[in-house]
Amino acid sequence: MRASTLVMIAFALVFGIIAVFIAQIWLANQANKHVEATAKPVPTRTLVVAKMPLRYGTELSAAMLEEVPWPSEALPAGAFTKISDVLNGGSRIVLTAIEANEPVLGLKITGPGQRATLSALVKPGMKAVTVRVNDVEGVGGFVLPGDHVDVVLTRTIEKGNATTEVVLQNRRVLAVDQIADERAAKATVAKSVTLEVDTVEAQKVWLASTVGNLSLLLRKAGETAQARTRKITLDDLTTQEPVADRGATTTTVSVTRAAAKQDYTVPVETARRGGAVAEAVRQ
């Protein structure tokens, strides 16, 4: 093969590689232009957030806060856009724990010049009522601010006739003794627990405290369901009530039609309804 042919091939390869490289750059530029043309700029505003973890009772200062950009359409209710808006008019105290980089909201701090009193924690339309407890009635000191509890009344109507019943369910604990910090983690044996209730519930608590002893039932975190309860008497202490097997997933239901009887295996929840159906069929 002649030298001139080899040179021609070499030049063709070099120019081919250069052409491919230029084409890639051009395509990348076109893609970037398309993205820039289609992407809409998101309007932002400044938002005041905490620079550091803030706990109940902390007095806010400019060194604890900072302004960060935030999408205008996603500003949370009660947020502040400037640090000066937070500090103008007097000092503000933290009511609810605020973590670092978390927005500072009006409902988590006091008004200008206000004190961090318990009244600032009570929601609109609600009241605060205090229940006297001891190490047993207060669940061994494991009830903490922010927990939810049920209130139980135990009383003796006459000799040999004692009862216990649930008076209130799912009430939020505002304070334990004089501690209202929801981030308090140390269990303490308290002498009193302050609950958030409405007016009627407050009347129930005060009436119940005059006729018997009040105790607290600590609820599992996040449990809000209202349980069906009944009054328990001394007779119930010796009565064995049937307890459902929580591990069973199926059961057998017998259905009688005329003279024919047939058994069905069904899920537990369906069985409860099926028992009523079977009874209706027999009737």
- Shared domain for 141 and 230, answered yes or no, is yes
Provide the pLDDT confidence category of residue 156 given band limits of 50, 70 and 90: confident
Q: Are residue 73 and residue 160 in the same domain, yes or no?
A: no
267 band by pLDDT with thresholds 50, 70 and 90: low
Q: Are residues 82 and 142 in the same domain?
A: no
185: domain range? 125-238
Q: What pLDDT is stored for residue 271 in this prediction? A: 45
The pLDDT tens digits of the residues spanning 96-129 come to 889 999 999 988 888 888 777 777 788 889 999 9
Which tens digit of pLDDT belongs to each residue from 188-225? Answer: 777 889 999 999 999 999 999 999 999 999 998 888 88
* Buried b or exposed e, range 120-152, using 16+ CB within 10 angstroms: bbbeeebbebbbebeeebbbeeebbbbbbbbbb
CATH number of the domain that residue 80 is part of = 3.90.1210.10
Read off the pLDDT of residues 131-140 as tens digits, 9 standing for 90 and up.
888 777 667 7
Do 23 and 108 lie in a common domain?
no
Q: In the prediction, which pLDDT does 245 show?
A: 47
Inside any domain, residue 244? no
Q: What percent of the chain has pLDDT over 70?
A: 78
Domain membership of residue 224 (yes or no) is yes
* Judgement on whether residues 88 and 173 belong to the same structural domain of the protein: no
Across residues 228-239, what is the average pLDDT? Answer: 84
Pair (232, 129) in one structural domain: yes
Mean pLDDT of 56-85: 89
pTM above 0.95, yes or no: no
Identify whether residues 233 and 199 lie together within a single domain.
yes
User: Is 243 part of a structural domain of the chain?
Assistant: no
Same domain, 140 and 209: yes
Residue 282: predicted pLDDT: 46
User: Are residues 180 and 222 both part of a single domain?
Assistant: yes
| Claim to verify: residue 53 and residue 10 sit in the same structural domain | no
With cut-offs at 50, 70 and 90, classify the pLDDT of residue 38.
low
What pLDDT sits at residue 5?
75
